[in-house]
Every structure is written in structure tokens, then in C-alpha cells.
Amino acid sequence: MTTTPTTQQSSPRSDETAPLPADDGGTVPARRRWLPPAIGLGLVVLLACLPLLAISLPGVLPGPTYTPGTLQVLALALLVGALALSYHLLFGVAGLLSFGHALYFAVGVYGLAIVLDRTDLPLLPAACVVLVGGIAVAHLVGAISLRVTGISFAMVTLAFAQAGNVLVRRNPAGATGGEEGLALDTAHVPDALVGVANTRNLYWLALAVLVVVYAIVLWVERSRAGHVAAATRENEMRVRVVGGRPYLVKLLVFVVAATLATGVGMAYLLLQSGAVPRVTSADFTLTLLVMVVLGGVGSRWGAVVGGVLYTLLDQRLGALASSEAIAGLPSVLRVPLSEPLFILGTLFVLVVLFLPGGIAGAAQRLAHRSGRDRQREAARETIEESA
């Protein structure tokens, strides 16, 4: 089983994740080095201004951008983007295919809901308690499940997440509310974060969460531990041989990703003002995986785009399913088209089959091609000039 030639296995991946040859070398013009951060900063400023503007995107958003309904959808998309980014740290950087990432998100959602419900702690101390709890759970589960690698690791994390799901559904001591879920107890939450009228504050909170998660993921990826994690993804044996400690580094990345997910989960609770058992399900982790692959494995902005795109598609396809245009179709077309998850699942299969590298990979190839064209054109011009 293990005798398959490893070069075949790793070559498509390393091709995708390796930096573009020569382009990023010393000859890069200064303009291209500060351009991406500048675009990112501009985008964040634009997003921060959205609640003050009246931009309508019919078909994509339910209404103008200042309305609470639209801001709610956008905030949800930003939070899911942040969650997908934390999953990117796990899967894209460390190469850990986890099927239990929803567990740590659920620890944030349910943990904060229970602490606010059962104690008199104000929001910030309560959030700190939940964060510590999330770190503890991540250490415990990570330490056990990282004893195995590859597919076994995926199944073990799935099993732990399933245990969390069972626990939430069984409703021990009435703490989780079982199938009905748990409503947010707003007694100790600042007034600025409660109510439909304050949706834009929640939107800004979601944007802040996304920016912070992005910064932490960037920091971890650029750190020594991040480099060792990426090296472990490519070839664990070699990391061992040169004296690295793959287990500890993987555990570190696992815990950081889980803690980020817990943080995003707490913001999710405030936004949705309640916890439902769906966030603990295995399906929810699978959708995270779908987002990251859709956006492009190994790409930070790809994960965010994947998360945002998935959420918007999910919301809008639901609206499409109940529209009259679909209801009038014959049942062969109507049944599949009225199931958003069918369309998303099919889209996902197509991306895996025909678009390796997802959206980010496609964009990179496109940029690469146009860059080559430009070089070729410049070369042709110099030839023509000299002629």
C-alpha cells in the first residue's frame, strides 16, 4: 500500500503551492511588492464603509447595503470567510485533513451561549473563559488524533466532532437545549451589539474578526513554526531527519486553528443571537472543506473568497429554489435545482476534477499567462526596434 511512488503523489501539490519561478525573485519591481497589501487595505476600508453606502447588487444581495437584512448576510459571509481561513491554516498550511473542525467552532458558539446563560459574567470575561476552554479541548483532541496521520487522522477528528454533536443533541442537564438550540441571553451583552437596529455594529465586529484572523494566520504562516509545518506537509520524514519535531509543530498549528475557530464561533453567536445543533454536525465541517477547496488550497485570500462565495451562493440558491421560475419546470429539472446543496456539491466535484487550485489557482494561472504575454510583447517590441 505504501509502496506507491511518492514523487507522483506530491508533484501536483508542490507545483500548485510553489512560488512562481523567477517572478518573485530579486527582479520584482517594487510596485508589485506593495500592490497586494494596498489592494487588501483598500478592500477592508471599502467593506468598512458599506453600511454607510447604498449600493444595490440585485441577485447577489437581498437589498441595498445599508439595510440590516443585507448587512446580516454580509456579516455572516465575512465570519464564514474567517472560519474558512482558520481551516486553511490546518489544511492548506499544515496539510492536516481534519473532518472535525466544526467542533471548535461549536465550542465557541455553545460555550459562550452557556456561559452567558448560566453565569453573571459580562461579555468579555465570558469570552476569555470560553477561549481558554477551547484551547484546552483543542490540546486534548489534537494530542490524541495527531498520533495517527493521513486518512486515519481525518476519521478520528470526525469521530470526536461526532461526539460533540451527540453531546449537544442529548442536552445534558438542559445546558444545550437539544434539537431546538439555545437562544442568546442578552442580559450581559452590551446594548450596542443587540437588536436589528444595531446589525451594522455586528457587521463591523465580523469585519474586525476577519482582519484579526487574517493577521494571525499570516503571522503563523510567516513564522518558523509555519515554515516547519509547511515542510512537514511536503515531507515529514525529511523534517524528522534534519532534526525537526513534526508532532509538536502540527499540534501547535492545530491548536491555533482551533482557537481561531472558537473566536469566530463566539462572534457567530452574537450575530445569529442563538446556537443551533447544525454548527456541530459533520456536514458543517464538510462545507468548510468545500469552501477552502473552492477558493484554492494553500491560498489565504482564496479561502476567504471561497467562504464568502459559498455563503452568498447558499443564501441566494435557497431564494432561487423557492422562486417561480423553478416551480414551473418539469420535475426532472425542478427537483435537483431546488436543492442548493446539490448544486454546490456538483460545483465542488467539477472544481476538484477540472480546476485544480480552485479560484486562486485559476486566477494565478490567468495572471501568469497575461504576464508572459506582456513579456513576449515587450520582447517583440525590442526586436522590432532593433530591426
Partner 1 sequence: MSTIVLLLITGLGLGALYFLVASGLSLIYGLMGVLNFAHGSFLTLGAFAGWEVARRLGADSWAVFGLALVVGAGVGAAFAALTELLLVRRLYERHIEQVLVTVGLALATVALFEGAWGSDPEFIEGPAWLRGTTDVAGAPVPNDRFLAIGAAVLVLVGIVLFLRYTRFGLIIRAGVENRAMVTALGIDVRKAFTLVFAVGGAAAGLGGVLASQYFGYVSPHLGAQLLIFAFIVTVIGGLGSLTGAAVAAVLVAVLQQFANYYWGYGDLVVVLLLALVLLVRPSGLLGRRA
Of 178, 339, 355, 363, the one binding partner 1 by CB under 8 A: 339
CB of 103 to partner 1, least distance (A): 11
Binding mask 54-93 for partner 1 (x = CB under 8 A): ----------------------------------------
CB of 54 to partner 1, least distance (A): 36
CB of 109 to partner 1, least distance (A): 20
| CB closer to partner 1, 262 vs 285 | 285
CB of 11 to partner 1, least distance (A): 10
Of 44, 135, 162, 212, the one binding partner 1 by CB under 8 A: 162
Contact between 3 and partner 1 by CB under 8 A: the answer reads yes
The count of residues interacting with partner 1 (CB under 8 A) is 49
Grid coordinates belonging to 262:
472558537
Binding to partner 1 (CB under 8 A) within 107-146 occurs at: 144-145
Of 38, 54, 335, 379, the one binding partner 1 by CB under 8 A: 335
| CB closer to partner 1, 197 vs 353 | 353
CB of 278 to partner 1, least distance (A): 13
Distances 343 to 130, 316, 348 between C-alpha atoms, Å: 36, 12, 9
Binding mask 6-45 for partner 1 (x = CB under 8 A): --xx--x---------------------------------
Q: Is residue 78 within 8 Å of residue 210, measured between CB atoms?
A: yes
CB of 63 to partner 1, least distance (A): 27
Binding mask 184-223 for partner 1 (x = CB under 8 A): ----------------------------------------
Instruction: Please report the sign of the dihedral spanned by the C-alpha atoms of residue 326, residue 309, residue 250, residue 132.
Output: negative
CB of 20 to partner 1, least distance (A): 22
Contact between 356 and partner 1 by CB under 8 A: the answer reads yes
CB of 107 to partner 1, least distance (A): 16
Binding mask 261-290 for partner 1 (x = CB under 8 A): ---------------------xx--xx-xx
Binding mask 141-160 for partner 1 (x = CB under 8 A): ---xx-xx-xxx-xxx-xxx
Distances 373 to 33, 257, 377 between C-alpha atoms, Å: 20, 39, 6
Grid coordinates belonging to 69:
437584512
The full 3-state SS of the chain, as one line of letters, equals CCCCCHHHHHHHHHHHHCCCCCCCCCCCCHHHHHHHHHHHHHHHHHHHHHHHCCCCCECCECCCCCCHHHHHHHHHHHHHHHHHHHHHHHHHHCCCCCCCCHHHHHHHHHHHHHHHHHCCCCHHHHHHHHHHHHHHHHHHHHHHHCCCCHHHHHHHHHHHHHHHHHHHHHCHHHCCCHHHCEECCHHHCCHHHCCHHHHHHHHHHHHHHHHHHHHHHHHHHHCHHHHHHHHHHHCHHHHHHCCCCHHHHHHHHHHHHHHHHHHHHHHHHHHHCEECHHHHCHHHHHHHHHHHHHHCCCCHHHHHHHHHHHHHHHHHHHHHHCCHHHHCCCHHHHHHHCCHHHHHHHHHHHHHHHCCCHHHHHHHHHHHHHHHHHHHHHHHHHHHHHC
CB of 46 to partner 1, least distance (A): 33
Grid coordinates belonging to 277:
445543533
Question: CA 361, 362, 363 angle in degrees (round to 5)?
Answer: 90
Contact between 318 and partner 1 by CB under 8 A: the answer reads no
Contact between 326 and partner 1 by CB under 8 A: the answer reads no
Contact between 4 and partner 1 by CB under 8 A: the answer reads yes
Q: Which residues bind partner 1 (CB under 8 A)?
A: 1-5, 8-9, 12, 97, 144-145, 147-148, 150-152, 154-156, 158-160, 162-163, 166-167, 170, 282-283, 286-287, 289-290, 293, 335-336, 338-342, 344-346, 348-349, 352-353, 356
